A = this chain, B = another copy of it.
Amino acid sequence: MNYGLVAVYKTIFSIVYGAYMDLISIRDVGLKDIEAILDTTEKIHNKEHEVDLKGKILATLFFEPSTRTKLSFQSAAMRCGMEILDFLPESSSLKKGESFVDTIKTVTGYADALAVRHPKEGSARLAASVSNKPVVNGGDGGNQHPTQTLIDLFSIRKSKGRIKGLNVTLLGDMKHARTMRSLVYGLAMFNANITLVSPKGLEMDPRYLDEVNKKFGLNVKIDNTPNYSDADVLYVCRIQAERFADPYEAQRVQEEFRVKKADLKDAKEDLAILHPLPKINEIESSIDEMPQAKYFEQAHYGIPLRMAVLEYLLR
């Protein structure tokens, strides 16, 4: 295939099938498709549905460290009967100076689908534009990580039975955390009530919230003090010390925003606590053993969810 034709090919595909051939951003997927993916995930999790992609190869190209995303893509693909081709940047021709685009063009010929993580924003979209195979974004810098958003939505629906009308509190750095913007977008699609709690100066960009509001309507509260007494779901993410000029201030804020066992007595009894992981110390480790802690289940839902995504992309 001439790579100049890739764009044409993928456009025709999207017209014929009414959906993109790639999964680069949660914005590429309509509500109906998301619901279909979540339903399939549920069926796979309940062992009511098998995905058969035997004989197909998934290439994983992770240009940044990852435990969960990479291994769960690989495990999900294995559970679908696929083989894994693992591109390791540290032992590749990148060292010889090969371009990202050339690497993608080459590996495209060796596999049936590509999962790509890269620190540069827009890299996954670039990869998709030169590959005639489905490309799924495993995180491109601070930009998008659509399968994580789908896992988050599934985890909420799974623990609460629904998303609509739930009080979902997002706690942490709303400015830089990759997952948060996409999650707000996804939650707005499903009409959840959102509270964004962040330290001062780490609020989510209001222009982004305006944009989501215009698209779906947005029921959102903004706060700078940790508080989740009315939350059905508490979604925690990290506050990196590097975001502060003063290390003492960083430590004070991290301590203030740490979720503590003692604080949970004021929370709803059936509160579900989520976290994209890895967590460092933003949640007291004693909470791990409490029934409210759902973050390891959340990580494990990555398998059926990514199986559903692979089926969706390779249909």
B91 lies within 8 A of A78 (CB)? no
Output the least CB separation between A137 and chain B (Å). 18
Q: In the complex the two chains form, is B278's CB within 8 Å of A102's CB?
A: yes
A272-295 residues with Cβ-Cβ distance < 8 A to B are 277-280, 288-289, 291
Residue pair B109, A296 in contact (C-beta under 8 Å):
yes
Between A66, A106, A300, the greatest number of chain B beta carbons within 10 A of the residue's beta carbon is seen for A106
Of A82-90, A118-126, A169-177, A227-235, the one touching chain B: A82-90
- Cα–Cα, bound, A62→B87 (Å): 13
B67 touches A103 (CB 8 A): yes
Which residues of chain B come closer than 8 Å to A68, judged between CB atoms? 93, 106
A260 CB–B CB distance under 8 Å: no
List A84-134 residues whose CB lies under 8 Å from chain B: 85-88, 90-98, 102-103, 105-107, 109-111
- Most chain B CB within 10 A, of A66, A72, A78, is at A78
Residue from B2, B57, B78, B277 within 8 A of A85 (CB atoms) = B78
The reply to whether the CB of A31 lies closer than 8 angstroms to some CB of chain B is no
Which chain B residues lie closer than 8 Å to A70 at the CB level?
91
For the complex, count residues of A whose C-beta is within 8 A of B.
51
User: Which residues from chain B contact A280 at a C-beta distance below 8 Å?
Assistant: 96-98
Closest to A5 in B: B289
Report whether A75 and B85 are in contact in the complex, using a CB–CB cutoff of 8 Å. Answer: yes
Other-chain contact of A65, B66, B78, B91 (Cβ < 8 Å): B91
Q: Across the interface, do A98 and B2 meet the contact criterion of CB distance under 8 Å?
A: no
Q: Which of B78, B86, B296 contacts A83 (CB 8 A)?
A: B78
Is A71 interfacial (CB 8 A cutoff)?
A: yes
Whether A289 touches B106, Cβ cut-off 8 Å, given contacts A62-B91, A92-B65, A98-B277, is no
In the complex, are the beta carbons of B278 and A71 less than 8 A apart?
no
Instruction: Report the minimal beta-carbon distance from A257 to chain B, rounded to whole angstroms.
Output: 17
Other 4 A-B pairs with CB < 8 A, given A98-B279, A110-B300: A67-B103, A67-B106, A74-B85, A109-B296
